Structure 1
Amino acid sequence: MLFVKKYLLAILVGCGILLFTSFSNTFPDRPETGFWAMEGTLVTHYFEDKTDSLSGPELFELQDKNGLPIWFGRHIFKDVCISGECKMIRLWLFWDGAGNYLGMQVPEEEPLTKSDHTEFEPEDYEKLENILGDTSSILKTLKQEDLIIVPDSIDPYEVDGYTAATQPTLAEVVVKDAVYTCHTLWHTVYGPVQAEIFRILENNLNNEFLSKMFESKKPQYISWAIKSVENHPEYHAGFYPEIMEYISSENPALANQALGYFRSELLEDTAIQLQLVQKMEDADTDMSIKYEILWKFIGFGDIHQNAVADLLKLFAGQKIGVGAYNLILRLVSPGHIHENEQIAQLLTQLSEDENGYVRNLTKRKLDEK
């Protein structure tokens, strides 16, 4: 009996050593270079990812001195082949403080490999970075079985990335001979980890955190803040003037997002109408955005007479072109002309403009009353 106990104890100790060794190999020490060399305060979040039990259970967050997230990172350790016979990949994936893909860090001693087990070249890593940064990648809607063409001579249950060919339509959008790696990592970047980051950010949402995100001057952070205010109307009064400023942003995507924030229901506020007209007067506002503001007004329809008067003054002062004037006149109602003396005077003045096109447009509008 004593022998049996000693035998069982030896087995348990051996298993424990194997488990410890396996755990140590799976969750290595954090590197001291790259993203990990950045200064800040490290916060550890634990979450259960049932779709990826081999990767690290920790989601790390690096915060700056103001408590704003610099990045989120997770250690990834997983198989990228259907057959299970391919080499495991190990790397760190990082997201920025708004949950967007930021980059990856691959151990020098364990480079990524292709289906023929050759190592990634620098240009392969560069292409992979571009793939992972593409939120609308074709990989988004594809399953693993959609990635390859299996020859009739091969048993589908024994297929791997070497014996099967990549779908021709994917050849230009994935790293050559690494379609499984591209697909797996893309879905890792935009899977449960990103959802968890969004949840963490949502839990941080308050006036102070929103202010810090706007003050960061980082387009991705500002975009997150605008989206958050849009989803939480209780923050509108405090932050819509901030959003209004970004209509003049040099970043086209941010300018369009800021303008898109001001939906029809918000245009019922006359103060917002007047501020949007002021953005049209701003020399920094892109001309296409100025036209978008006019179309937004036209879509809304009921524009306050003071906003209409300000728009007419913009044109009379030659701060906006003739094409825009045609749209402005669509906002002028007979009621505006009858009730607002300033609008009537401006139109009378423009009906005598030296430009025949302007004269004719204006006279037709005056005849409507």
Structure 2
Amino acid sequence: MYKVFSFVSILIFLSGGLEGLFVDAREEEKNIRYKNELTLDFPVAKINNKVIYDEVEKKNVTLYQYISDKGFPVYYSRNVSTGVCYDNQCKQLNITLYWNPTGRYLGFELPEKEFLSKDDHVPFTEEEYIRLNKLLSDPKLPLGDFTYNQIAAKNKAALYSVDGVSGATSKDVLEYVIKGSAYTTYTIYELVYGATQSEVESWTNQVLTDEFLEDILTESPYQDKLWVIDLIQGRLSYFSQSRDIVLDLMKSDDFSLAEKSLNSLIAEDLMDEEVQIKLMGEFHDFDFGMKSRTLSLLKNANYISPKVVEILNDDIEDMEVPIIAAILDIYKAKGIKDSKTIAAARKISDSDNRYLAKKAEDYIQMLNQ
């Protein structure tokens, strides 16, 4: 069953995920609108705007920022009015594009009575609008790697035989465009993932707060969580609430999310002993790569908590050889010399693995200097 909500008071959408068709509340005046999932579904309380330069349209345009009553950006939009030209003919593209505050494509809307068309002005079908929205939702689509000359028709015959694409590239391009509207698809995709997307991300970055980040990390779709974790790398000390959430996400069953959360830490974050303790609380459950990353952070930290050393010494002999060697390197570099660490190193120095034995001997020798 569809859920009704509004972008702003005059725009009422029917939400249906990737294939959600937006319909104006006035049944007799239907607008063509499609949307994806919002980062955070907050009511809009205010609209800001700024002038930016668009590299596709080659002119200054206005970007709108829709703000919640908490002061958080909910989404962004901009109106597009540009010519889509090929085969010495042009047709006007009038469309409004929407982005989430993370820069993720949100959807599109056409003005009242406007429609997208193919060759000879044949309107898009509903299935083609759905497919267009799905194509635009994929930031990894190789469509952006093609050039104008590969997309635009060379002549009328080419237009009809290969959908406005030169024969050499038509099969590749047709996989990523609406048939009969290759250059329109290409132009919209370039608009979605061009300069405006970067402006959206930059504007959101300027208004970050701990509360806003916390909401995204706990309530937003998966791809938005990843975006935020990347964004705050090296800045966790400024966002204490978000830092704790990121540390908890390292325990996630989703490997990509857990690894990215760990990789967001820098050595300076480990100046806080609490961060070190939380990090080491998960150490024994980490895979090899995450253990290696953790030890690299510790080696570059200015201080290592005695509690961390205690955790590292637990079962050290049963760890992978490269991990044991890395721990011994940390002990040597940091001059760790408590009795339990020394005892652990002496056991390793008797190992049949000459590489590890040499590492332990080097550490013990350093203590005697």
TM-score (norm 1): 0.66
**Structure 1 residues 102 and 121, CA, compared in 2 at 3 Å: closer, same or farther?**
same
Match of 1:72 among 60, 71, 76: 76
Structure 1: unaligned runs, 5 residues or longer: 1-28
Q: How does 1:173-192 map to 2 (within 5 A)?
A: 173-192=176-195
- Name the counterpart of 2:13: 33
Deviation for aligned residue 1:184: 0.9
Cα offsets for 1:18-60 (capped at 9, x unmatched):
xxxxxxxxxxx95432478887124323333554599984625
Q: Contact (CA 8 Å) 1:297, 1:303: kept in 2 or not?
A: no
- Name the counterpart of 1:312: 313
**Structure 1 residues 243 and 108, CA, compared in 2 at 3 Å: closer, same or farther?**
same
**Structure 1 residues 131 and 138, CA, compared in 2 at 3 Å: closer, same or farther?**
same
Deviation for aligned residue 1:229: 3.4
| Higher RCO, Cα 8 Å, sep 6+ | 2
- Structure 2 Cα separation of the partners of residues 85 and 30 of structure 1: 35
More helix by share: 1
- Structure 1 Cα separation of the partners of residues 117 and 236 of structure 2: 48
More strand by share: 2
- Partner-residue secondary structure (3-state), 1:181: helix
- Whether 1:61 and 2:66 are equivalent positions in the alignment is yes
Deviation for aligned residue 1:96: 1.4
- Name the counterpart of 2:3: none
- Structure 2 Cα separation of the partners of residues 250 and 75 of structure 1: 41
Deviation for aligned residue 1:185: 0.8
- Name the counterpart of 2:51: 48
**Structure 1 residues 39 and 240, CA, compared in 2 at 3 Å: closer, same or farther?**
closer
Q: Name which one, 1 or 2, has greater alpha-carbon Rg.
A: 1
Q: Identity over the aligned pairs, expressed in percent?
A: 19
Q: Contact (CA 8 Å) 1:294, 1:328: kept in 2 or not?
A: no
- Structure 2 Cα separation of the partners of residues 198 and 347 of structure 1: 49
- Name the counterpart of 2:328: 332
- Name the counterpart of 2:258: 255
Cα offsets for 1:64-116 (capped at 9, x unmatched):
x6443332233434332246734433433221132211223456854422235
- Structure 2 Cα separation of the partners of residues 225 and 91 of structure 1: 29
Structure 2: unaligned runs, 5 residues or longer: 1-8, 16-21, 26-40, 365-369
Cα offsets for 1:111-145 (capped at 9, x unmatched):
42223533334553344334323334333344423
- Structure 2 Cα separation of the partners of residues 309 and 367 of structure 1: 20
Q: How does 1:1-369 map to 2 (within 5 A)?
A: 30-34=10-14, 40-49=43-52, 51=54, 52=57, 57=62, 59=64, 61=66, 63=68, 66-82=70-86, 85-106=89-110, 109-148=113-152, 150=154, 165=166, 167-168=169-170, 169-230=172-233, 235=238, 239-264=242-267, 266=269, 272-281=275-284, 287=287, 290-294=290-294, 296-297=296-297, 300=300, 304=304, 306=306, 307-315=308-316, 322-323=319-320, 325-333=321-329, 335=332, 339-346=337-344, 365-368=359-362, 369=364
- Structure 2 Cα separation of the partners of residues 233 and 338 of structure 1: 27
Cα offsets for 1:154-184 (capped at 9, x unmatched):
9xxx99x966546233232333332212221
TM-score (norm 2): 0.66
- Structure 2 Cα separation of the partners of residues 115 and 299 of structure 1: 63
